[in-house]
């Protein structure tokens, strides 16, 4: 399996699992946890969640999924911006750890930028590392200028998790090269889009038909083809999980890539950072 290296040398699979929208209905939680467990079985051992998702409900689902398998999982969660202060971050982190039923996160991210100074958040993250509650920290939904503001702390930032898919390619102009130049992997959320519009695109469907795969697998293979990128699609049913896993074996040709560029033009100038 293709792997991606964090700045500290830790290797993780390039294809992980997301949990956005999980835990919103209690009746679905067991099936969602089983889907995540299947993903672990198939080698998608990085699981991403957040205190925002279902207001902690997704973390509860993840806890069920990784029960008895903590050592098999690289666990990522994210903190609300309004909780990312010196006073509130320890409390928010402890609450996430309780919901996840673990003693430490492998990676803890600032979900997006809010009113708390980045320097204060970084200091609180570093304190959590010293206490053994997180192994490393990173950010989400931050653009190049935000990352540059980290200054001397930038080398300690493990990742930037951003929206990136065929419909949202703005990060290719500057953010992806910026992170690659510093050995910082990027985590791509919603790599197959939202709402299904992307997957109905005629060019994407034609490429999928040519390879005998689904449009979603083509969209995912496009993201996975770029070095230093970790894709975290969410799947809540076994068939979808297996399709995501199979996308690792799909190699897009130069012709495929040219057709995708024609249908979804790459950026030629700086764009505002897209977010969901």
Q: Which residues are known catalytic residues?
A: 53
Q: Quickly tell me which residue has 């995708």 as its tokens.
A: 260
Any known ligand binding at 111? yes
Give the single-character DSSP code of 265: P
State how far the alpha carbon of 101 is from the alpha carbons of 88, 130, 202, in Å: 20, 20, 44
Alpha helices in the chain (DSSP H): 29-41, 57-66, 88-100, 118-130, 144-149, 175-181, 202-211, 215-224, 238-246, 254-263
DSSP letters along 183-201, please?
T--EEEESTT-STTTGGG-
What angle is formed at CA 214 by the lines to CA 210 and CA 219, rounded to 5 degrees?
95
The answer to whether the CB of 179 falls within 8 A of the CB of 189 is no
State the binding site for substrate: 111
State the binding site: 111
């Amino acid at each position: 399996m293709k792997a991606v290296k964090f700045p500290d040398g830790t290797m993780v699979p390039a294809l992980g699992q997301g949990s956005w929208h999980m835990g919103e209905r209690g009746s679905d939680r067991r099936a969602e946890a089983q889907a995540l467990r299947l993903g672990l079985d198939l080698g998608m051992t990085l699981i991403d969640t957040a205190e925002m998702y279902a207001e902690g409900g997704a973390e509860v689902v993840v806890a069920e999924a990784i029960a008895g398998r903590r050592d098999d999982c690289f666990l990522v969660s994210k903190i609300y911006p309004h909780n990312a202060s010196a006073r509130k971050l320890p409390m928010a982190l402890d609450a996430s750890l309780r919901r996840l039923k673990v003693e430490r996160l492998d990676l803890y991210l600032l979900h997006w930028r809010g009113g708390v100074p980045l320097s204060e958040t970084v200091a609180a993250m570093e304190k959590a590392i010293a206490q053994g509650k997180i192994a490393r920290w990173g950010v989400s939904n931050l653009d190049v200028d935000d990352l540059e503001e980290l200054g001397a702390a930038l080398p300690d930032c493990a990742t930037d998790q951003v929206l990136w898919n065929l419909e949202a390619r703005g990060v290719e102009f500057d953010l992806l090269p910026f992170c690659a130049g510093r050995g910082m992997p990027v985590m791509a959320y919603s790599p197959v889009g939202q709402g299904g519009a992307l997957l109905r695109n005629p060019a994407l469907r034609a490429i999928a038909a040519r390879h005998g795969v689904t449009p979603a697998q083509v969209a995912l293979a496009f993201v996975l083809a770029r070095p230093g990128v970790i894709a975290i699609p969410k799947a809540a049913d076994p068939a979808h999980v297996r399709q995501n896993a199979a996308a690792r074996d799909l190699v897009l040709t130069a012709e495929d890539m040219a057709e995708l560029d024609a249908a979804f033009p790459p950026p030629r100038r700086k764009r505002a950072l897209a977010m969901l």
